[in-house]
Amino acid sequence: MMILKMKKEDLSVFLETVKEWGELWGPARKGERVVFQRVDGLSQMDLKATRTIIPPKKFLYPQRFTMFDFDDKGYVERTEHVPNRILFGIHPCDIHGIQVMDELFLEEYRDPYYAERREKTLLLGHSCIPDDKCMCSARDTEFIAEGFDLFFTDLKMFYLVWVGSSRGHDLVRMRPELFNRNIGRDDILNYNEYRKWKKAQVQSGADFTGMPDIFELGYNSPIWDELAEKCLSCGQCTMVCPTCNCFNVVDEVELGTVEGTRDRFWDSCMFREYSLVAGGHNFRDKRVERLKLWYTHKLQAYISEFGEPSCVGCGRCVATCPVDINVVTVTKALREQEVGK
């Protein structure tokens, strides 16, 4: 790991240069919302935005894509169309989310479609300012030490730039004159003050302590029925979550032929049809069963497999759910055995 220093006014020049590697994408305003979109440069980005609607998982795990074309002679995979991309402005919690996805799709069972996109994507993180929906301190995700190519920490007058990979170092070498290796005592003090200041900005009262035991003890609690009465089963929580990865696969066949495509698209365990199988049997026909599944998987079952929850504290479920069912309200309800009105 190497840490460099960059003048803030040099960032625009640097981004203009690294576009030689691939498309530049960053957080940009779309009406009142913020989305990741392709940009020409720094002037089109909003680096003060707290979160995008959809997390950057959409670049590595698209909402819908064709896996392969097939006919009576075999099949041909579709991966060659994936472009090189530089994702700039990704916050620490979203990088943690990508690390979760990497564990799922690159380790024990390697997903070639995810792997192709991951290889063609550079992650350039950027520091952020938490708002009242962020839970990063509760999940210890407000800072990041790995999983990125470069990470830019805004210290007002300059950036401290963490080089997290050989590919990140290659980007630095494209414009080495923009970086300085002389980190002084004042820079260290400024960074320490920044860390204290950022922790103080987190306002969410989320408490994940002992969650696996609390979920086990409260598995049959009437709290779940009360929450299910409010839940709309709209699936928005799963779509905006950086670590949700359920998908469905369908074959689209041309009428009267054996030619077609196999498509893969995001699905949600909150949808009633998700657990519907042949014969009309549904393993989770009731809304309460689906709601319980999502939260126990997120905050209990995932811990037993990987040692930590798959929630990264981004606050998107808090910002998105229209009936105020989210990681904060559910964990609080299980602790206090009461659902807020």
Q: What is the tens place of the pLDDT at every residue in 120-158?
A: 999 999 999 999 999 998 889 999 999 999 999 999 889
What is the arithmetic mean of pLDDT over 94-108?
A: 94
Mean of all residue pLDDT scores within the chain: 93
* pLDDT classification of 340: cutoffs 50, 70, 90: low
Lowest mean pLDDT among 75-79, 95-99, 163-167: 75-79
What is the arithmetic mean of pLDDT over 316-322?
A: 95
Lowest mean pLDDT among 1-5, 49-53, 200-204, 278-282: 200-204
pLDDT in tens, 34-47: 999 999 999 999 99
Name the E strands within 1-71. Answer: 2-7, 23-30, 33-38, 64-71
Tokens of 16: 């203009």
Cα 246 from Cα 291, distance rounded (Å): 15
Q: What is the pLDDT of residue 306?
A: 84
Paired with 83 in beta bridges are: none
Please give the residue that has the higher pLDDT: either 335 or 150. 150
* pLDDT classification of 341: cutoffs 50, 70, 90: low
pTM for this entry = 0.93
Among residues 294, 299, 135, which one has the least CA distance to residue 210?
299
Q: What is the pLDDT of residue 167?
A: 97
What is the arithmetic mean of pLDDT over 176-201?
A: 93
SS3 percent helix, strand, coil of the chain, rounded to 5, is 40, 20, 40
* pLDDT classification of 206: cutoffs 50, 70, 90: confident
Tokens of 10: 């040099």
Neighbours of 188 (CB within 10 A): 11
* Positive or negative: CA dihedral 270, 271, 273, 274: negative
Paired with 122 in beta bridges are: 86
Among residues 201, 177, 224, 198, which one has the least CA distance to residue 337?
224
Neighbours of 158 (CB within 10 A): 18
